[in-house]
Amino acid sequence: MTTQRRTPPSKDKLDAIRAIVGPKGVFEGNDAAPFLSEWRGRWPGEAALIVAPASTEEVAKIVKYCSDNDIAVTPQGGNTGLVGGQIPFGDEILLSLKRMRKIRAIEPLNNTMTVDAGVTLAEAQEAAKEAGRLFPLSIGSEGTCQIGGVISTNAGGVNVLRYGNTRDLVLGLEAVTPSGEIWHGLKRLRKDNTGYDLKQLLIGGEGTLGIVTGAVLKLFPLPAEKVTICAGLESADDAVKLLSLAQQRTGGMTSSFELMARLCIDLVLKHIPQTRDPLREQHPWYVLAEFSSGQKSGLRDTVEAMLGEALEQGLIVDAAIAENESHAHDFWRIRHSISEAINGEGLGARHDVSVATSDIPAFLEKADAAVLKIAPGARFVAFGHIGDGNVHYDIVGPEGSAPDVLEPVRPQIESAVYDIIDTFSGSISAEHGVGRHRRDTLAKRKNAVELDMMRAIKKALDPKGIMNPGKML
Amino acid sequence: MTTQRRTPPSKDKLDAIRAIVGPKGVFEGNDAAPFLSEWRGRWPGEAALIVAPASTEEVAKIVKYCSDNDIAVTPQGGNTGLVGGQIPFGDEILLSLKRMRKIRAIEPLNNTMTVDAGVTLAEAQEAAKEAGRLFPLSIGSEGTCQIGGVISTNAGGVNVLRYGNTRDLVLGLEAVTPSGEIWHGLKRLRKDNTGYDLKQLLIGGEGTLGIVTGAVLKLFPLPAEKVTICAGLESADDAVKLLSLAQQRTGGMTSSFELMARLCIDLVLKHIPQTRDPLREQHPWYVLAEFSSGQKSGLRDTVEAMLGEALEQGLIVDAAIAENESHAHDFWRIRHSISEAINGEGLGARHDVSVATSDIPAFLEKADAAVLKIAPGARFVAFGHIGDGNVHYDIVGPEGSAPDVLEPVRPQIESAVYDIIDTFSGSISAEHGVGRHRRDTLAKRKNAVELDMMRAIKKALDPKGIMNPGKML
């Protein structure tokens, strides 16, 4: 699928946009680079102009001008996206939200927080904590990614099992529509049945339907007790059963439940300094799980009893409960280092897929077999948020092979994996989104009724097609 | 706002629709009445034909035929809606989902259940329970209302605080589009970032964008322990603070948190047989709360300690913990009888509104004052799901007045209450929806950007305007 190029905007028009934000809001020359290169260097970009407005009103003025003059706009948050959705092709102006970073309000008694789109996720977490509350969303890029981007990509992360995706954590939005109007939708309500839930279109909309400028986020009580465990298992099937047991025995207290194939541990130990095997013996599979409770005591006993039951039922072979924060941190360090460890091993082939949780073992079995037919000796670094059915299904070449050994067959591998995902009615992009990267794949694989609905909505809300063209659909 | 009438469909065309469902699927004469009268008798309806297809394919055939022949369709579930959204005006065919009532699949390890739209909420709850899981949605009409209707109205109820609205409990949908295509969207995934989340438009869409024929619902572990309490308080403000304390001390275990003004209790004791005062003394306000946990023990101690703390802080005056199921049932009977008790007292003026939870006390104060100016001596039967900011703000006439004393000023009262709701950026329909009842109010009060977006979406997805015309927008 190709994207229609527009006539590049004239110098006069760009000057008119510059005038809206003033010199502080324009980024040129050396200052432009950080906006135009995606962090893994996959999608080098170009923009007609890079501006960072200081207020919602400035965003609206810019978009109104662009709408009137048929200029395309690519909104950008922290530029941490993994699918190139935030990188313009050349004729667009890039609109960064980085100068809009006020925490507008925190209301502990309503368990809500109202923030500008440019506030980083870490800043939002910190502000909530200072008010004695938890904002549970947590992803690797939290120090840099911004709330507006997090919302536009419906970010997931390690706490989805208990607290939901970003979609579940947003009560209200302020946004600028493709015609440059401000939508004042900053509701702080938990129930509102007065028409279509419009914010759901912008959440995960990848900036194709408007620009998020502010949001009301849900907060939660801070947990009083936390227990982190690492367990060794024989199979992914046992992991699915362990999850079910854990959820039944702890009620809603299972916050994270991460699966790792042994090869994940091996690669982390090989490539990441100061890491160590989490359990005494080696096991084919590992589960890293976290439980948290508002009650001050009793959680550890409950988790211990649950692990005892799991041992008896043969679901786990061994398990360790973190003795303190630093021990828990060691467990999490392994999990968080997997991506970097894979980079150390080679280019690999990566997939961010999801299936029904109970289908994970069958998916892994079928996908492994299909990949081995294409790339004999390939090794599987499967890991992920198993409680959400989300597997980061990554593949590296045979032991000792060249780092780029899989490159020639990568498209074939991807296609085979996605074919299997389709047979499970799974998702080819569980949390990373579509952006540039999966746009063609989506057009090919998404069901026709859905594609038609998406296109009809896009045309209805952005008839001139100026919002982030060439992304998603 | 008026609704354009269509040419009534000809006999030939109606016969063509009859032929799709066969004689078992057509309801005429005496059989028609239950579909056409809403249970409170407010919106008597008429339909060109009443059909109940037996399968998704039949639904699609009917809608395709209607689309091709410009015939309007009003979908109907259990006919328990409170705003007339399910009642046709006369030129539409009424399409009931009542013959589609299969539980298609239950997958405990994925915590999901796939059901036909015509399954009743109680049947869904029961099926989940048999599989050792909880489907937590619970509303007054659960014995009759159907999953399709529950989804199309985004039903709320008493467990929203912990488990969310219907919107949060749906993973996938199967639906028939306004052009008669089947949308196979029955995904069982907890993460899927491949484009706009289209199901969100049909959830709460009141049948104006398509007909839900099936759904994948989220299930949860069955709670192992449940504690129900009733507390007496001096003010609604204390209730908001008690909620915050309860949520902090019990983590995620607060399932329900209902506020009731004393007058609620008085009216229940007066009009409903075999009910008794829940606490020894009388208090201006009451909280009925339920806590549940997957842990087998410790919850009662935690709740007791929390109540001790609340007493010390002066947030509550007295409290009772239900000693057994039947005691808890007595507490809940009061709560569930309020609506009926109000009916016993008179016609009243009823509002289903929401504000930020922390704004509830200020809202009540301002609304009471405004109403008393219009109707001196009016009495307030405020109750509701305070944890969701949702107040059923009902008003009855002065003690001993005629049952219809408020009727002449009801529009004025409503308008005054909604004006105050607007100052709090609240919702004039927290859970009951728009339907026929609040369509004009919505058109007048909804912000213009949102109305434009809603209308653009409606036009894009239902260009012929055949889906449930005259409802919502």
Q: What is the pLDDT of residues A213-257, one digit of tens each?
A: 999 999 999 998 999 999 999 999 999 999 999 999 987 789 999
Write out the two tokens for A302. 């409950």
User: Contact A250/B192, CB-based, under 8 Å?
Assistant: no
Residue of B nearest to A190 (CA): B388
Which residues 6+ apart lie within 8 Å of B271 measured at CB?
A: B337, B340, B341, B343, B344, B345
> pLDDT band at B3, cuts 50/70/90?
low
CA distance B36 to B74: 11
Q: At residue B129, does pLDDT exceed 80?
A: yes
User: Contact A429/B457, CB-based, under 8 Å?
Assistant: no
> pLDDT band at B252, cuts 50/70/90?
confident
Are the C-beta atoms of A433 and A170 separated by less than 8 Å? no
Which residues 6+ apart lie within 8 Å of B253 measured at CB?
A: A251, A252, A294, A295, B162, B291, B292, B293, B299, B302
Q: At residue B42, does pLDDT exceed 60?
A: yes
| Exposure string for A357-378, b = 16+ CB within 10 A, e = fewer | bbbbbbbbebbbebbeebbeeb
User: Contact A389/B167, CB-based, under 8 Å?
Assistant: no
pLDDT per residue as tens, chain A (473 positions): 555 668 899 999 999 999 999 999 999 999 999 999 887 778 889 999 999 999 999 999 999 999 999 999 999 999 999 999 999 999 999 999 999 999 999 999 999 999 999 999 999 999 999 999 999 999 989 999 999 999 999 999 889 999 999 999 999 999 999 999 999 999 999 999 999 999 999 999 999 999 999 999 999 999 989 999 999 999 999 999 999 999 999 877 899 999 999 999 999 999 999 999 999 999 999 999 999 988 777 899 999 999 999 999 999 999 999 999 999 999 999 999 999 999 999 989 999 999 999 999 999 999 999 999 999 999 999 999 998 999 999 999 999 999 999 999 999 999 999 999 999 999 999 999 999 999 999 999 999 999 999 999 999 999 999 999 999 99
Burial environment of residue A343 by CB neighbours within 10 A (0 to 12, 13 to 18, 19 or more) = middle
CA distance A396 to A398: 7
Write out the two tokens for B345. 């007292």
Are the C-beta atoms of A87 and A42 separated by less than 8 Å? no
User: Contact A192/B354, CB-based, under 8 Å?
Assistant: yes
The tens digit of pLDDT for each residue in B173-210 reads 999 999 999 999 999 999 999 999 999 999 999 999 99
Question: Which residues of chain A have a CB within 8 Å of the CB of B257?
Answer: none
pLDDT of residue A2: 55
Whether the complex's predicted ipTM is more than 0.90 is answered with yes
Residue positions counted in chain B: 473
Residue of A nearest to B155 (CA): A193
Shortest Cα distance, chain A CAs vs residue B414, angstroms: 16
CA–CA–CA angle A84, A88, A89 (5° rounding): 105
User: Contact A453/B177, CB-based, under 8 Å?
Assistant: yes
pLDDT of residue B331: 96
Q: Is B114 helix (H, G, I), strand (E, B) or coil?
A: strand
Q: At residue B1, does pLDDT exceed 70?
A: no
Are the C-beta atoms of B200 and B94 separated by less than 8 Å? no
Choose from B137, B159, B194, B211 for mutation: most chain A CBs within 10 A: B194
- For A19-121, where are the E strands, in sequence order? 49-51, 73-76, 93-96, 103-107, 112-116
Query: Which segments of A256-388 does DSSP mark as H helices, in order?
Result: 262-271, 299-312, 325-345, 360-374
Question: Which residues of chain A have a CB within 8 Å of the CB of B442?
Answer: 194-195
Q: At residue B214, does pLDDT exceed 70?
A: yes
Average pLDDT of the residues in B227-237: 98
Residue of A nearest to B172 (CA): A425
